Amino acid sequence: MSNSEIDQEIDPLTRLAIKHGTDKWGPHFYTPLYHELFYRLRDRPIHLLEIGVGGFDLKTVGGASLAMWAEYFPSGQVTGLDIVEKRLALGPRVKLFRGSQVDPAFLKQVCDERGPFDIIIDDGSHVPKHVVTSFHILFPYLVDGGLYLIEDMQTTFWPQWGGSSMSGAIRRNWRE
C-alpha cells in the first residue's frame, strides 16, 4: 500500500490528532469514532468544552487536543479547563480556564461565559466520583441533541482510582 493510499484511509480528525500530537489517536484511537460523530458539525459554529488539557503540572505543556479541535471546527469555539494553570497560545477561538471539574460554582461560571455546549468531552481526572459530579453539573448546559463523551472509562473498574473491581461482582453473580 502506498503512502497516498494510506493517507486516503485516515480520516481528517485522525490526521489532525497526529499533526498536533494528541493521545486521542494512538494510545486510545478515539479520533475515528469522534470523526463519525462530529463530521456533520465541522462547519458549524459549535461550542465544545473539554475537561482536562493535558501536560500534567507543567504550565506550558498540553493543549494538543484543544488545538486539534480548533482546527477541526474552523468556526467553532473551544473551551478547555484544567485544575492546573496553563499558559498556552492556542488562538482566539480557544479559551482556557483553571479550576476543578467538581467545583459547581466554577463550572457554572464557565458555562455562563462559554456555553451552552454542543459537545462536552470529559478527559479530566478519570476518577469515577469526579466524572459523575461533572456530568450532573454540566449536562444541563448541553444543547438539545448535543453530545457528552467520557473518556477512559476503564478507571471505573480500578479500585486505586475509586472504581470497583468488576471481577468480584462477576464471581459473586456466577456463584448465585
pLDDT in tens, 45-86: 999 999 999 888 888 889 999 999 999 999 999 999 999 999
Report the SS3 class of residue 81: strand
Show the cell assigned to 109. 461560571
- Which residue, 13, 29, 136, 120, is CA-closest to 77? 120
The one catalytic residue in 47, 126, 130, 136 is: 126
Q: pTM value?
A: 0.85
List, in sequence order, the alpha helices (H) in the chain.
3-9, 12-20, 31-38, 64-72, 104-114, 128-138, 166-175
Nearest to 119 by CA among 55, 62, 70, 64: 70
Is residue 176 over pLDDT 90? Answer: no
pLDDT: is 32 or 128 the higher one? 32
Contact status, residue 162 vs residue 129, Cβ threshold 8 Å: yes
Higher pLDDT, 96 or 170: 96
Q: Is 130 a catalytic residue?
A: no
Choose among 51, 68, 65, 53: nearest CA to 12: 68
DSSP at 39: G
Length of the chain: 176
Question: What pLDDT, on a 0 to 100 scale, did the predictor assign at position 75?
Answer: 98
Encode pLDDT of 111-153 as tens digits.
999 999 999 999 988 788 889 999 999 999 999 999 999 997 6
pLDDT at 154: 59
Q: Is 156 helix (H, G, I), strand (E, B) or coil?
A: helix
CATH number at 42-175: 3.40.50.150
In the chain, what is the straight-line distance between the N-terminal and C-terminal CA atoms, in Å? 53
Residues of the chain with pLDDT > 90, as a percent, come to: 69
* Domains in the chain: boundaries: 42-175
pLDDT level of residue 173 (50, 70, 90 thresholds):
very low
